[in-house]
Structure 1
Amino acid sequence: MDIFITIVLATALLIATITDLRSQKIYNWLTFPLILSGLVVHSIHSGLDGLLLSAAGFALGLILMVIPFFLGSMGAGDVKLMAGIGAWLGVNATFTAFLFTCLAGGVYALVILARRRDVLKAVLANIWGTFLRLTATKKYDYSPIETEQTMPRLCYGVAIAIGTVGAMILNFTQTGSVIIP
C-alpha cells in the first residue's frame, strides 16, 4: 500500500505545486478528492482502524493549518492540502510532514526575502524594534514599522510538498513505511 500512497501523494503534491506557482491557488477539485480518497482507501484496506487512522490524520492536518489561516497568513487551499495529506498519512507522519513543512516554509521565505532586500530590511527593522520594546518594557507589543513595501506572497504549497516528501522519505528510511501507525 505504501507505493500506492506515495504515487497518490506525489501526484497531488506535484499538481498543487504547479497550480500554486502559476495562480497562487490550490483548487478544491484537487483537495476534496484527496481527502475523500484517503478516508475511503484506508477504510477499504484496514476497516475501522484504517478509517480512524485516516480521520485522525485529516483532523490533525486541518487543525495545524487552520490556525495560521485564521491569522491571515495561510490560504484555504493550503489548509485543505495538509488535511488531505493527513487523510493519507495518519497522525504521526502528518505531524512530521507539518514540522518539515514549517522548516521548508522558513527557508523558502528567507530565499524570497533575500531576493527583495528592501522588504528584508523592513522585516529585520520590525524584528529589532519588537525586541527592543520587549527588553525595555518587559511586555510584548508588536507595532510594526510602517513601510511602503508590500510583503511578497508565498506559494506555501511548495513548502507543503517539500515537507511532505521529506517526511515520507524519513519515515520510510526509519520504519520501512511512509505511514507510522
Structure 2
Amino acid sequence: MEYIILIIALFICLYTDIKSRKILNIVTLPTIVFGLVYNIFTTGFAGFLFSGKGLLVGLGLLIIPYLLGGMGAGDVKLMAAIGALMGTSFVFYSFIYIALIGGVIALLLIIKTRGFTNSIKSLFFNVVFFRSNLGSIVLPKDIKSSISFPYGVAIVLGSLSTLIWGGF
C-alpha cells in the first residue's frame, strides 16, 4: 500500500513542480500523516519509530540547502514525506540517487546555458584555483550566474530509482 501512495505522491509532485515550480502541501502533508498512521497501525510503536526517524532523516538531508536558499521548502517536505512513508534507509538511498541525478541535470544545464568550452574553462579554473573567482576572468560577463531547475524532478527520479534498484 505504501508503494502505491509513494508513486502517486511522486507523480503529482513531478507534475506540479514542472508545471508551476511548486510542490504542494496538499500532497506532502497528507503523505507524511499517512506514512505515520500506516506504520503505527501496522507495527505499533516500532512503526512510529520507523516512520519518525525516516521523516527526520528526510527533513535533515535537505534542510541546510533550503536554509542556504538552494531549494524550496516543498522539496524538503517531499523528502520528509518519503522518509515518513518508507523509512530511514529508503530515504537515505534515495538521497544518494537524487544527488547523482541532480548533479547530472545541473551539469547538462550548465553546459547548455554556458556552452561546452566556457564550462570546461570554468571547471579548470575552479579546480586549479580551489573554487576562487579567477574563473570569471576568462568567462564572458553576460552569462547568467544563476541556473535553476525544479529539483523535484531529481527527487522523483531518485526515489523511483531506489524503488526499482534498491540500495547499494
TM-based fold match above 0.5: yes
Q: 1:128 aligns with which of 124, 127, 144?
A: 124
Moved over 6 A (4+): none
CA contact (8 A) 2:101 2:158 kept: yes
Alignment correspondent of 1:42: 39
1:17 to 2:14 alignment = yes
2:156 aligns to what? 161
Question: For residues 71 and 117 of structure 2, what CA distance do their matches in structure 1 show?
Answer: 23
Distance, in Å, in 1 between the alignment partners of 2:23 and 2:7 is: 15
Which residue number in structure 1 is paired with residue 2 of structure 2? 5
The residue that corresponds to 1:148 in the other structure is 142
For 2:26, which of 8, 25, 29 is the aligned residue?
Answer: 29
User: What is residue 50 of structure 2 aligned with on the other side?
Assistant: 53
- Could you state the TM-score of these two structures normalised by the residue count of structure 1? 0.81
The gaps in structure 2 that reach 5 residues or longer are none
Corresponding letter in the other structure for 1:163: G
SS across alignment from 1:55: helix
Q: Assess if the C-alpha contact under 8 Å between 2:114 and 2:143 holds in 1.
A: no
| Residue 171, structure 1, aligned to residue 166, structure 2 | yes
Instruction: State how far apart, in whole Å, the 2-side matches of 1:112 and 1:127 are.
Output: 14
Aligned residues: 163
Query: 2:75 matched to which residue of 1?
Result: 78
The CA distance in 2 between the partners of 1:142 and 1:67, in whole Å, is 22
Contact 2:111/2:119 (CA < 8 Å) preserved in 1?
Answer: no
Quote how far apart the aligned CAs of 1:31 are: 1.1
CA distance in 2, matches of 1:86, 1:5: 11
TM-aligned CA deviation for residue 126 of structure 1: 3.8
Kindly tell me: are residues 6 and 18 of structure 1, through their superposed partners in 2, closer, same or farther at Cα, counting changes over 3 Å?
same
Q: Which residue of 2 aligns with 1:138?
A: none
Identity %: 36
Counterpart position of 1:89: 86
User: Partners in 2 of 1:74 and 1:28 — Cα distance?
Assistant: 15
Q: How far did 1:124 drift?
A: 4.2
Question: Which runs of 5 or more structure 1 residues have no equivalent in the other structure?
Answer: 135-140, 175-181
- Which residue type is aligned with residue 171 of structure 1? G
Q: Aligned Cα RMSD in Å?
A: 2.1
1:116 aligns to what SS in structure 2?
A: helix
Secondary structure of the structure 2 residue equivalent to 1:74: coil
- TM-score, length of structure 2 as denominator length: 0.87
Q: CA deviation at 1:122?
A: 5.1
Cα deviation for residue 11 of structure 1 reads 0.5
Is the partner of 2:44 in helix, strand or coil? helix
